[in-house]
A and B are shown apart, each in its own frame.
Chain A
Amino acid sequence: MEKIYTRPSYIREGATSGFCPGCMHSTVHKLVGEVLDELGIVNKTVTVWGVGCCILGAGYTTHDSFGSPHGRACAVASAYKRTNPDEIVYTYQGDGDLASIGIAETIYAANRGENFTVIFINNSTYGMTGGQMAPTTLVGQKATTAPFGRDPKQHGYPVHVCELLATLKAPYYLERVTCLDAPNVLKAKKAIKKAFQNQIDGKGFSLVEIMSNCPTNWGMAPLETLEFMKENTLKEFPLGVYRDKDAE
């Protein structure tokens, strides 16, 4: 018999992720693991975890990794990569981490064209702390700190990271994807692979924004979150390539 599907070597044998059922964080972990295996770089890879549900991956994956204070992953990764240019470095960050408290670190790492990869999980909420309003919460979407829904008059509008970073000259590759169905999962994997390949090739800053769900804090069953995303999230955050210097 031929083995056609297996656990990526990057995921620890016998470990459970700790992510809630139906959460796309799990899917993205699997994709990153598959990509690292396919590119043959697991042994060379170091993750810098952001602070949020993403840190649940620290006990779940096998390769080297370390944490960073909330929002600072891009600063930590910049220095690590510059002092260890032969290794593969990526940050794994949520939207609160990357686009609120860490927006400066993100913009400046992108603007310096740092040669590492950013895996950015945008679930429109502060998942780990219990569903507060995030920089990416949709207009009208409820959060524990916006109980009547996001109101632009009070809270402003959602922050679009790919569009924002696309105003800079240095970033090499910026793409927004999602994991809400099989075709999109395959596209997401392709984007993640490209983002790592760019780093191997020394091309510079690559970020993949993955539009995700948070069944727990959205108060929805996993399948409902997918419908919600199609109807709402993806309209506010259009999927697509926002920068690809290969194509320019």
Chain B
Amino acid sequence: MEKRFMKGAEAIAEAAVRAGCRFFAGYPITPQNEIPEYFARRMPEVGGVFLQGESEVASINMVNGAAFGGTRSMTSSSSCGISLKAEGVSQAATDHLPIVVCSVMRGGPGVGPITGSQQDYWQATKAHGNGGYKLLVFTPESVQEAVDMTYHAWDYAEKYRNPVMILIDGVIGVMMEPIELPDMVSDEFIAQNKAAKKAAYAPGPREDGRKEKHPINVSDGGPMGRNHADWMKYEGWKENETDVEFYQTDDAELIIAAYGISARIAKSAIGILRSEGYKVGLIRPKRVYPFPTKAFADLCPKKIKGILDVEMSMPPQLAEDVDAATKGAIPMEYCLTSYGVIMNRDDIVAKAKEMLNK
């Protein structure tokens, strides 16, 4: 483990390199330019390939091309750029390519402002592209968590043969924090990992009489076999792959629902509220897909007076999943910012007090 003081975006890129990512393609867009810029410097040092695509569309298709050949590959972008990548991510989902996409949210809809937001929750969790696929969506609240989640992202992508998304906001991307970096995987691991993927499902030359494994041939079970298998995979995630933090929830009378940077700010608000005797806790999805439904469904309406949804998006997006989980049994109120305006801790404190003093 190596200790460093790093910016979120660069730390994500370094974690990816240490995980064995050897192909990156991206197109410039604020607030995530530090990710491709870091890869551009770093890839030549480790024998990897960095390509600046002519667009987000080209970049994601390049990432798929590298993944077809067994290389751990990644792209990053922001909001309107992630929209353009939907074509390629949808294709990766159907071709079962284990790629990693880092989505650094800025304001929207449309081109939007370049500052951080959380307005792409639906884009990440509901319907990014066509055809009804799902991504594992990791939502770190700190640079360290972003590093750890990125480092392990390919393990999940390869286990499930499915794209994984690291969903952060512009704040985490530009924030500097002290971190511990995981060790670099070995060259042997990289070579074996690539060879194993090629043998298992990637196309590529084989000595055995050219029995090609076109991705179209990957799933058995007739024309609907692939869709059915993917559906079962997503159902399995709901059981096995949720990840959620309960923060000071044991005695809480008010629960804040938040993820990413909003959760981080909410924790600081909870410190203030607790010091004044307000019993407030936080439920923080560390992955927003699969959504930790049970964490919210298990809340006791007799004990919990309300849920305060804290997110940097209007309309609120996380809120819909929370409400669906509680089946509306617990009244919900909101503390929101949007269009690239960063969440204010004092607003969370004031809103929580208002709810508890009712």
Chain A residues within CB distance 8 Å of chain B: 9, 42-46, 48, 58, 62-69, 72, 75-80, 82-84, 87, 104-105, 107-108
Contact = CB atoms under 8 A, between A and B. Distances in A.
A79 B63 contact: yes
Closest 7 CB pairs of A and B: A79-B65, A76-B65, A64-B203, A79-B62, A72-B61, A75-B61, A108-B54
B58 A75 contact: yes
Interface string B42-71: 000000010101110111011111101111
Contact of B68 (A44, A45, A66, A108): A66
A42 B210 contact: yes
Among B66, B68, B91, B95, chain A packs the most CB atoms within 10 A around the CB of: B68
B135 interface: no
Contacts of A105: 54, 57-58, 61
Given A65-B212, A65-B214, A79-B66, 10 more contacts: A58-B214, A64-B204, A64-B214, A67-B95, A75-B59, A76-B61, A78-B51, A87-B205, A105-B54, A105-B61
B212 A84 contact: no
A43 B205 CA distance: 5
B61 A66 contact: no
B210 A46 contact: no
Interface of B: 22-23, 25, 49, 51, 53-55, 57-59, 61-66, 68-71, 73, 87-88, 91, 95, 203-207, 210, 212-216
Contact of B206 (A58, A64, A68, A77): A64
A83 B22 contact: yes
Contacts of B207: 43
B54 A64 contact: no
Contacts of B215: 66-67
A179 B58 CA distance: 31
Contact of B65 (A58, A63, A64, A77): A77
Contacts of A84: 69, 204
A9 B69 CA distance: 23
A42 B212 CA distance: 12
Given A66-B214, A82-B49, A75 B205 contact: no
Contacts of A76: 61-62, 64-65, 68
Most interface-central of A62, A69, A76 (chain B CB within 10 A) = A76
A72 B53 CA distance: 12
Given A104-B54, A108-B54, A78 B205 contact: no
Contacts of B216: 58, 67
Q: Interface centre among A43, A63, A79, A87, by most B CB within 10 Å? A: A79
Contacts of B62: 75-76, 78-79
A43 B210 CA distance: 7
A105 B51 CA distance: 13
